[in-house]
Amino acid sequence: MNLFIIRHAIAEPGEPDAERELTQEGVRKMKRAVRGMRELRWSFDRVLTSPWRRAAATADLLAPLCDEEPITTELLCEKPRAELLALIAETGQTTAVVGHEPWLTELIAWLAFGDSRHGEALDLKKSGVVWLEGAAIPGGMKILALLPPKILRELR
């Protein structure tokens, strides 16, 4: 399977954390990043998202790349665990996951290296994407690309 891990776009600061909205700049930059993803001819069978407002809004912006509505899961609001890997594995051949730090880089490290403790070695910017390929099991995927949002926005 192909798995695309996407960090939410730029959001307003403040509390409560789950209610933070995307900024206008965050929406604008994410739309440009989505255009870059289209230029790469990416499309998704499914999009999994955290229910937190900024992630859900980012997932909604991926609509040009997926015909299905995003699937929300609380599993993306916490440290990754086996239930999240099972959900990822059952969702399709090409899946996007939208969520938050530090959990996303922990997920990437768990999938690529078999150990979530190495997530701090990855720098996933807001609206950035990591592309993985393989089986959704610990150590079962390889990282094909880590694309900062600036690179995605420059593609046309």
The rounded distance, in Å, linking the Cα atoms of 118 and 77 is 19
- Which pLDDT tens digit goes with each residue over 107-149? 999 999 999 888 888 999 999 999 999 999 999 999 999 999 9
Write out pLDDT tens, residues 41-82. 999 999 999 999 999 999 999 999 999 999 999 999 999 999
Task: Give the model confidence (pLDDT) of 4-16 as tens digits.
Answer: 999 999 999 988 9
Q: Kindly report the CATH number assigned to the domain that includes residue 74.
A: 3.40.50.1240
> Can you give the residue range of the structural domain that contains 99?
2-154
Q: Count of domains in the chain?
A: 1
DSSP letter for each residue of 82-113: HHHHHHHHHS-SEEEEEE-TTHHHHHHHHHHH
Is the pLDDT score of 155 beyond 80?
Answer: yes
Angle at 118 between CA 117 and CA 122, to 5 degrees: 135
